[in-house]
Amino acid sequence: MSMFAEQFRKRTPRSKQLYEEARRYLAGGVGGRGKFFKPYPLYFKRAYGCRLVDVDDNEYLDVTMGAGPNLLGHNLKVITEAVKKQLEIATHVFFSTPLEVELAKKINQHMPHLELLRFANSGSEAVRQTIKIARAYTGREKIAKFEGGFHGSDDAFLVSCMSPEIKGPDNAPEPVLDYAGIPSIVLEQTLVLPFNNTDACVSLIRKHGKELAALILEPVAATPGGGVVIEKAFLEAIREETAREGILLIYDEIVTGFRLGLGGAAGHFGITPDVAAIGKALAGGIPIAAFGGKREIMEAVVTPTGDTSDHKNKIFHSGTFSGNPVAMAAGLAMLDEIERLNPYPYLQTIGDRLRAGLREVFSRYNLPVQVSGISSIFNFTITDRPVVTRRDVLRSNTALQTEFCLGLIANGVLQPVRHASFLSAAHQEADIVEYLEKSNHVLMTMRKAGSI
């Protein structure tokens, strides 16, 4: 029984009531499993800056920030205004608009490796297309991914990602299905690699190279991977090996695109993929995503010719809402605002302050913690071993971590229990201090109760 559950329940009777009602209509009372946590999920009615207000009128310091999109804060005025204006002009037309061209051009200016791109509505939808591109372009079927690498909700990626089960040795993991409903053929189509382990990866890529259509990676293994940042030398080796074997290198930049900088992780590391997907921060909270890559690849397997040969040579990508003008207007407003503010040096400063502060707070209680992340992304794992892979996360004290997160929530910090955390340009220095003070308070409460 959690020691913070009682405090949580006392503060949130309306959420409890809503949860009971929600369970009659929504599976699990929530719109997606990521929103569910015990004892019951919270329901929110308002957001502003870096704060959320729940249905019981409790205010929270938010470090979830919409699971990533709200890079500059909640309800950014320039975005709400752009959306309102666009709603009056054209809400949805299906066919292309000048806004779509303008946004694609702007993305290309900042991410020149996305020579040709397409829009989508969610990260999962965009990442799904990158795999189809790789399979169509190379004529191969197998995909390499990292253990603990998260790429959304498609079958191809729900392998050795969130499962608590691990198989095979540390340097040669074997694929494990994460959830029910995924055909076992996916196991045969997936090569699982150990993150940041150059020797093991180089030898596995060389062994399986000719069967592999793509190697997909998250430049920051933000959630199941524990927030570990890819090492530059490792990325260089992966880039070299994939190029040699004719494997398309795919960056899943759904989290890192526009969060690590206007050039995303590709710009940050100076190493470019063949194909990439971006989303989340691109439109500051309005649903959007995009995928694209080298012109030669995109032209070969995406650009339609309009005749029957397309059925043989091209992937099918279309979507009722892809390129939706409201999302395009939001994306343009967001990128203009990012260009105007250049929030990245500030985000690095507050991110570093939080990471160092959290280490220091845990050390007061002689509790080992590994705090990871970069810029405005952070995650932490309660263990004395360095965290490099998903296996290190699984070997940590996850029960204590869950308890600490619930303690923070019960004390007014929306610390996601099973998700990477995000800061934003709306977080002030005082918010970082509040986060650290509340972390200290939670650990002190646990110490007094004798649970740590």
Ligand X SMILES: Cc1ncc(COP(=O)(O)O)c(C=O)c1O
Residue numbers of the site for ligand X (CB under 6 A)? 67, 122-124, 127, 150-152, 218, 222, 252, 254-255, 279
Considering beta carbons, is residue 67 or 143 the nearer one to ligand X? 67
Taking the C-alpha atoms of residue 261 and residue 7, their distance in angstroms, rounded to an integer, is 39
Looking at beta carbons, which residue is closest to ligand X? 123
Considering beta carbons, is residue 12 or 381 the nearer one to ligand X? 381
Question: H/E element holding 348?
Answer: helix 344-364
Taking the C-alpha atoms of residue 192 and residue 35, their distance in angstroms, rounded to an integer, is 27
| DSSP 8-state secondary structure symbol assigned to residue 417 | S
Compute the half-sphere exposure of residue 411: CA atoms within 13 Å on the CB side of its CA.
21
DSSP 109-138: HH-TT--EEEEESSHHHHHHHHHHHHHHHH
User: Residue 50's CB: how many other CB atoms inside 10 A?
Assistant: 22
Considering beta carbons, is residue 260 or 443 the nearer one to ligand X? 260
Nearest to 161 by CA among 146, 141, 174: 146
**Nearest approach, Cβ of residue 274 and ligand X (Å):** 17
**Nearest approach, Cβ of residue 285 and ligand X (Å):** 12
Between vectors from CA 95 to CA 137 and to CA 110, what angle results, nearest 5°? 60
Considering beta carbons, is residue 362 or 380 the nearer one to ligand X? 380
Burial (CB count within 10 angstroms: exposed 0-12, middle 13-18, buried 19+), residue 157: buried
**Nearest approach, Cβ of residue 309 and ligand X (Å):** 31
- CB 323, CB 96: distance < 8 Å: yes
Question: H/E element holding 362?
Answer: helix 344-364
Instruction: State yes or no: cis peptide before 219, omega within 30 of 0.
Output: no
**Nearest approach, Cβ of residue 212 and ligand X (Å):** 20
Looking at this protein, which amino acid is placed at residue 268? H
**Nearest approach, Cβ of residue 276 and ligand X (Å):** 11
Taking the C-alpha atoms of residue 131 and residue 334, their distance in angstroms, rounded to an integer, is 28
Taking the C-alpha atoms of residue 186 and residue 183, their distance in angstroms, rounded to an integer, is 6
Token pair for residue 227? 């927030």
Considering beta carbons, is residue 152 or 292 the nearer one to ligand X? 152
Taking the C-alpha atoms of residue 82 and residue 7, their distance in angstroms, rounded to an integer, is 41
Between vectors from CA 278 to CA 294 and to CA 92, what angle results, nearest 5°? 105
**Nearest approach, Cβ of residue 222 and ligand X (Å):** 6
Considering beta carbons, is residue 42 or 220 the nearer one to ligand X? 220
Considering beta carbons, is residue 193 or 255 the nearer one to ligand X? 255
Considering beta carbons, is residue 83 or 286 the nearer one to ligand X? 286
**Nearest approach, Cβ of residue 390 and ligand X (Å):** 14
**Nearest approach, Cβ of residue 223 and ligand X (Å):** 6
**Nearest approach, Cβ of residue 152 and ligand X (Å):** 3
Looking at this protein, which amino acid is placed at residue 358? L
Considering beta carbons, is residue 123 or 343 the nearer one to ligand X? 123
**Nearest approach, Cβ of residue 243 and ligand X (Å):** 23
DSSP 205-258: HHHHGGGEEEEEE-SEE-STTTTEEPPHHHHHHHHHHHHHHTPEEEEEETTTTT
**Nearest approach, Cβ of residue 123 and ligand X (Å):** 2
Considering beta carbons, is residue 218 or 392 the nearer one to ligand X? 218
Considering beta carbons, is residue 228 or 443 the nearer one to ligand X? 228
Taking the C-alpha atoms of residue 161 and residue 236, their distance in angstroms, rounded to an integer, is 23
